[in-house]
Amino acid sequence: GYVLYPGKLTRAPSFRIGCIGAIGPDDMAGMVVVAASVLREMGLMET
């Protein structure tokens, strides 16, 4: 699974991405999909 944490260092809507442990290409591909979904939800990326 993935956990996106709310950003705390800015007033602008943001989130943080972190990694604990070993990750591979499939993990990164999945994270890109999740991050794109969040960016669209935040209105920062066009659909």
pTM: 0.61
Count structural domains, the chain.
Answer: 1
Q: How far apart are CA 18 and CA 8, in angstroms?
A: 14
Residue 10 belongs to a domain: yes
Q: How far apart are CA 46 and CA 10, in angstroms?
A: 22
Strands (E), the chain: 5-6, 15-16
Write out the residue range of the structural domain in which residue 28 sits.
5-41
CB 6, CB 14: distance < 8 Å: yes
pLDDT tens for 1-47 read 677 777 777 787 777 777 888 989 999 999 899 889 888 988 888 87
Residue 46 belongs to a domain: no
